[in-house]
Structure 1
Amino acid sequence: MLALFPPGARLEAGVLTLDGVAASDLAERFGTPLIVYSEAALRERARLFRRAAPEALVVYGTKAFPNVALLRLLAEEGIGADGSTLGELA
């Protein structure tokens, strides 16, 4: 059942948790529908890309999901951002 979820997802006593936080708590706080990203999973995948091609310029396409917090996290992991307009960089 959890194959579609990131590695930090657990089913504990019938409660879905994402990196230790109950999904129901997230839904109560932020409402639904809700997209939740795992910081641990994002960082690990960014590191895998960097290790696979240490000399390559690895960039994230900002058109996919232009979120400032995500872009900062990826920058901390050495991943750049690809933008085609100045508005995407603002």
Structure 2
Amino acid sequence: MKPTALVADFILDCSNRGDLVADPCIGSGTTLIAAHRTGRRGAGIEIDPGYADTALKRLAATSGLVPTLVGDGRSFDEIAAERLAWED
């Protein structure tokens, strides 16, 4: 993980409040958290579902936001519960 404060400093230097900050390899979600903390909108993609899950969990824990699936509005927790049911 990158230090969130360091990424937030970069974001403050390179964008304005309300701007969209994009990260094409979201990893553990540091950029999303830093964007939220600095009043920016964050967007990211991740090919590895494990990293995507980690990023969403961290964002939810630090921001209080509830990640939802755009296609049908299910929350991250609802989708995680469904995944666990599939594994049984």
TM-score range, shorter chain: 0.3 to 0.5
TM-score, normalised to structure 2's length? 0.36
Would you tell me which structure has more helix in proportion to its own residues?
A: 2
TM-score, normalised to structure 1's length? 0.36
Structure number with the bigger relative contact order (C-alpha 8 A, sep ≥ 6) is 2
